[in-house]
């Protein structure tokens, strides 16, 4: 037989064949072209044995950590190299620049996804990320804390509008007080106590999940309060709250002391440069410890006044109402000292900041605007970043009462937006629509969530070899989507990808179900109803709808689903070793042998590596152990025993059997924490 033909039969190269033949006991010489048929037959038999041995050796080398798995690394490196940061909304031109691609090509790519856009059009993150992925990038959403350049410009204008109103028209306005602190330390309860209503009871799990704004009149002083959520996921909302505020209350539970979000809040307050008061809450609790809390505060640089520092600390109990009056007194005192700054011109067009926005099923887009200067009236033309976004139809105060004007430092719910504006946006009232861009429908970040996003081409699994979890999310308010997106950032993982196929505000609809179906995904409904039709469709299409009221429960469910998709890792546990002393019986892959345990303990139903003369020659499993005539579950070191072994490799006296167990585990440690 020709060597080349033999090589082909063995699925190898002539060179490898020639190189390995001497090791198999065939000396065919370097220049041989043929072997006789008898040798060829023997070579074929021995070759498969050799290949099996090579495979076993490679496997065990890997198992025992003797070789590095190089591939993974380069994959991760590749991903690193092509990461692309994309903001919530981006102009097509800027998007192309970020990818370093010609804008025409990007427009063409967008058209493929069914989106007709010109270079100045703005597209949302979802759309951009799909196109970016198609172009081989790994898109990442840029965290937007409302500090985009455009917004900075707006904030500057807002500032100068407030400061330039010095021609005698400025009037005192209420202070805006932001309430911050660690989760569950009692911010909302404290505000309840101040207002003596009960909001906390109405919140799911008592956890604040978006910003709340209230106005209170105490001792003839009007104060505007901004409540913020304390959970770590809501950093963005906390910093936004602080940006619009004049002063802050830092709530610290006296039984719990300084916690991570207390520290974060301190940093945010310091960055905002606003005065603040510490409300040491939950004083009614038996384990409230003022001294301990004070020393914890000192450690983070807040030295109490009575310890010679400058930090005003008021012990309170939101539950019993103790200390609330003192707290308000301190607030009024602080406002008094700040009074030169607490002014605005009510006789001008209003400018304010969006602090919450959502879509109401009946009424459409609703946003809470904190008017910061000027007065807002029904009929006012609204502009955001130079784009006409609607006209004030109705305004309601925090109690839900219709109001006919909103003066500086007043939060109002405004009806009349054409689409939901982004939280953090600065809204400006214009004299007419002339100065505003009316043609362009603003593609704000929230339009992105309230309208259907790009395509549903997302495959469920194995894009680029990685499994995907595709989900559709519907929430009640924008803050919830923002928070979830922030939390999902933590689930970023090199092994599985979470893909938000579609997200939006309001009820779960048919098209959500269809999107989820075509992506083989599932639907999450966060505090929103599901239409009857969608319900029906979900049953027909076998699309799961999961409903949640608490954001962390939803998050944990997504996390668990993602974990289930994680590649499994095999954990090898080394067990005992045995030396073969006798081979009694070999019968179609089953060998009965005897041996001595030389290390550790032997157990039945374990895997084995067969080592002979210092190298691995095969693998198999031990199915039974015998001591004397008895079947046993364990044999200790030094003992002699009988074994029943399943293996294709024939055991020989002197073989060493290394036993081990393999367990499949998901790579849990790699997701979030």
Ligand X SMILES: Nc1nc2c(ncn2[C@@H]2O[C@H](COP(=O)(O)OP(=O)(O)OP(=O)(O)O)[C@@H](O)[C@H]2O)c(=O)[nH]1
239 binds Mg ion (CB under 5 A): no
How far apart are the C-alpha atoms of 604 and 633, rounded to whole Å? 6
Percent helix, strand, coil in the chain, to 5, is 35, 30, 35
Beta carbon nearer to ligand X, 287 or 291: 287
Concatenated DSSP letters for 391-444?
A: EEEEEE-TTS-EES-B-TTEEEEEEEESSPPPTT-EEEEESSSTTSB-SSPP--
Report, in Å, the least distance between residue 245 CB and Mg ion: 16
What does 341 bind: ligand X, Mg ion, none (CB cut-off 5 to 8 Å by kind)? none
Cβ neighbours for 653, distance < 8 A, ≥ 6 positions apart: 580, 581, 582, 583
Beta carbon nearer to Mg ion, 281 or 455: 281
20 binds ligand X (CB under 6 A): no
CA triple 169-175-178, angle to 5 deg: 145
Report, in Å, the least distance between residue 323 CB and ligand X: 9
End-to-end Cα spacing for the chain:
62
Dihedrals φ, ψ of 400, to 5°? 90, 5
What does 171 bind: ligand X, Mg ion, none (CB cut-off 5 to 8 Å by kind)? none
Beta carbon nearer to Mg ion, 241 or 576: 241
| Cα→Cα distances 463→114, 134, 344, 470, Å | 21, 11, 55, 12
Q: Which of residues 127, 129, 151, 188 is near Mg ion by CB under 5 A?
A: 188
What does 319 bind: ligand X, Mg ion, none (CB cut-off 5 to 8 Å by kind)? ligand X
Concatenated DSSP letters for 234-267?
A: GHHHHHHHHHH-SEEEEEEETTT-S-HHHHHHHH
Beta carbon nearer to ligand X, 186 or 390: 186
Near ligand X in 184-223, by CB under 6 A: 184-189, 200, 206-208
Q: Which of residues 87, 174, 175, 230 is near ligand X by CB under 6 A?
A: 230
Report, in Å, the least distance between residue 228 CB and ligand X: 7
| Cα→Cα distances 561→471, 496, 522, Å | 10, 11, 10
Report, in Å, the least distance between residue 283 CB and ligand X: 7
The bridge status of strand 387-396 relative to strand 402-403 is antiparallel
Cβ neighbours for 633, distance < 8 A, ≥ 6 positions apart: 603, 604, 625
What does 189 bind: Mg ion, ligand X, none (CB cut-off 5 to 8 Å by kind)? ligand X
Q: In this structure, are residues 301 and 333 in contact, taking their beta carbons and an 8 Å threshold?
A: no
Beta carbon nearer to ligand X, 148 or 208: 208
Strand partners, 376: 406
Report, in Å, the least distance between residue 189 CB and Mg ion: 8
Beta carbon nearer to Mg ion, 187 or 499: 187
Report, in Å, the least distance between residue 222 CB and Mg ion: 22
Beta carbon nearer to Mg ion, 486 or 529: 486
Beta carbon nearer to ligand X, 24 or 216: 216
Report, in Å, the least distance between residue 178 CB and ligand X: 13
Q: Which stretch binds Mg ion (CB under 5 A): 205-213, 466-474, 571-579, 625-633?
A: 205-213
Residue in 269, 253, 182, 179 with CA at minimum distance from that of residue 216: 179
CA triple 184-484-300, angle to 5 deg: 40
Number of residues that bind ligand X (CB under 6 A): 22
Beta carbon nearer to ligand X, 184 or 517: 184
Q: Which of residues 317, 334, 518, 538 is near ligand X by CB under 6 A?
A: 317
Report, in Å, the least distance between residue 355 CB and ligand X: 15
Report, in Å, the least distance between residue 299 CB and ligand X: 21
How far apart are the C-alpha atoms of 370 and 195, rounded to whole Å? 19
Q: Which of residues 208, 410, 413, 446 is near Mg ion by CB under 5 A?
A: 208
Near ligand X in 167-186, by CB under 6 A: 181, 183-186
How far apart are the C-alpha atoms of 474 and 527, rounded to whole Å? 8
319 binds ligand X (CB under 6 A): yes
How far apart are the C-alpha atoms of 411 and 395, rounded to whole Å? 10
Beta carbon nearer to ligand X, 186 or 304: 186
Report, in Å, the least distance between residue 214 CB and Mg ion: 12
Concatenated DSSP letters for 342-367?
A: SEE-TTSB-EEEEEEEEEETTTEEEE
Near ligand X in 246-285, by CB under 6 A: 281-282, 284-285
Q: Which stretch binds Mg ion (CB under 5 A): 25-33, 180-188, 577-585, 604-612?
A: 180-188
Report, in Å, the least distance between residue 277 CB and ligand X: 16
The residues that touch ligand X, with contacts defined as CB under 6 A, are 181, 183-189, 200, 206-208, 229-231, 281-282, 284-285, 317-319
The residues that touch Mg ion, with contacts defined as CB under 5 A, are 187-188, 208
């Amino acid at each position: 037989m020709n060597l080349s033909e033999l090589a082909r039969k063995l699925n190898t190269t002539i060179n490898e064949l020639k190189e390995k033949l001497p090791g198999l006991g065939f000396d065919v010489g370097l220049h041989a072209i043929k072997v006789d048929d008898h040798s060829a037959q023997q070579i074929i038999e021995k070759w498969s044995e050799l290949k099996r041995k090579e495979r076993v050796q490679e496997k065990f080398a890997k198992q025992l950590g003797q070789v590095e798995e190089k591939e993974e690394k380069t994959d991760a490196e590749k991903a690193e190299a092509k990461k692309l940061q994309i903001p919530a909304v981006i102009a097509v031109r800027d998007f192309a620049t970020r990818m370093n691609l010609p804008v025409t090509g990007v427009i063409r790519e967008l058209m493929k996804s069914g989106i007709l856009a010109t270079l100045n059009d703005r597209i949302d993150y979802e759309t951009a990320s799909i196109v970016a992925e198609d172009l081989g990038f790994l898109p990442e959403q840029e965290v937007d804390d409302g500090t985009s350049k455009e917004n900075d410009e707006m904030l500057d204008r807002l500032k100068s509008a407030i400061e330039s109103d010095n021609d005698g028209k400025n009037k005192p306005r209420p202070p805006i007080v932001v309430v911050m602190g660690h989760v569950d330390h009692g911010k909302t309860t404290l505000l309840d106590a101040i207002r003596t209503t009960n909001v906390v009871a109405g919140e799911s799990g008592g956890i604040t999940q978006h910003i709340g704004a209230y106005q209170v009149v105490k001792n003839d002083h009007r104060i505007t309060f901004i409540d913020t959520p304390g959970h770590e996921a809501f950093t963005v909302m906390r910093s936004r709250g602080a940006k619009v505020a004049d002063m802050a209350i830092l709530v610290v539970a006296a039984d719990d002391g300084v916690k991570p979000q207390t520290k974060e809040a301190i940093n945010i307050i310091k960055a905002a440069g606003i005065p603040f008061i510490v409300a040491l809450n939950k004083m009614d609790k038996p384990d409230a410890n003022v001294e301990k809390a004070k020393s914890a505060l000192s450690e983070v640089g807040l030295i109490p006044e009575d310890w010679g520092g400058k930090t005003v600390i008021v012990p309170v109990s939101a539950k019993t109402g103790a200390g609330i009056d003192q707290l308000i007194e301190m607030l009024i005192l602080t406002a008094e000292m700040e009074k030169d700054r607490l002014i605005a011109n009510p006789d001008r067009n209003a400018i304010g900041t969006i602090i919450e926005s959502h879509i109401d099923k009946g009424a459409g887009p609703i946003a809470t605007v904190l008017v910061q200067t000027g007065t807002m009236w029904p009929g006012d033309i609204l502009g955001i970043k130079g784009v006409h976004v609607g006209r004030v139809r109705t305004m309601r105060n925090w109690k839900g009462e219709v109001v006919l004007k909103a003066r500086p430092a007043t939060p109002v719910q405004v009806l009349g937006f054409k689409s939901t504006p982004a939280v953090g946006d600065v809204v400006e009232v214009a004299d007419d629509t002339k100065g505003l861009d009316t043609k362009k429908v603003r593609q704000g970040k929230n339009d992105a969530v309230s309208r259907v996003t790009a395509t549903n081409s997302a495959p469920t699994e194995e894009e680029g070899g990685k499994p995907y979890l595709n989900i559709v999310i519907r929430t009640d308010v924008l803050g919830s989507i923002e928070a979830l997106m922030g939390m999902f950032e933590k689930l970023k993982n090199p092994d599985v990808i979470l893909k938000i196929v579609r997200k939006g505000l309001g009820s779960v609809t048919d098209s959500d179900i269809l999107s989820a179906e075509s992506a083989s995904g599932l639907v999450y409904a966060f505090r929103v109803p599901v239409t009857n039709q969608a319900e029906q469709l979900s049953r027909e299409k076998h699309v799961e709808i999961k409903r949640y009221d608490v954001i962390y429960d939803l998050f944990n469910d997504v996390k668990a689903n993602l974990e289930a998709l994680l590649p499994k890792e095999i954990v090898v546990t080394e067990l005992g070793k045995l030396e073969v002393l006798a081979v009694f019986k070999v019968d179609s892959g089953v060998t009965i042998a005897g041996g001595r345990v030389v290390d550790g303990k032997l157990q039945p139903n374990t895997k084995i590596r067969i080592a002979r003369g210092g190298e691995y020659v095969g693998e198999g499993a031990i199915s039974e152990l015998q001591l004397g005539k008895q079947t046993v579950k364990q044999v200790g070191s030094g003992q002699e025993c009988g074994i029943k072994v399943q293996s294709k490799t024939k055991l020989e006296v002197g073989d060493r059997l290394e036993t081990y167990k393999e367990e499949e585990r998901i790579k849990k440690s790699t997701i979030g924490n």
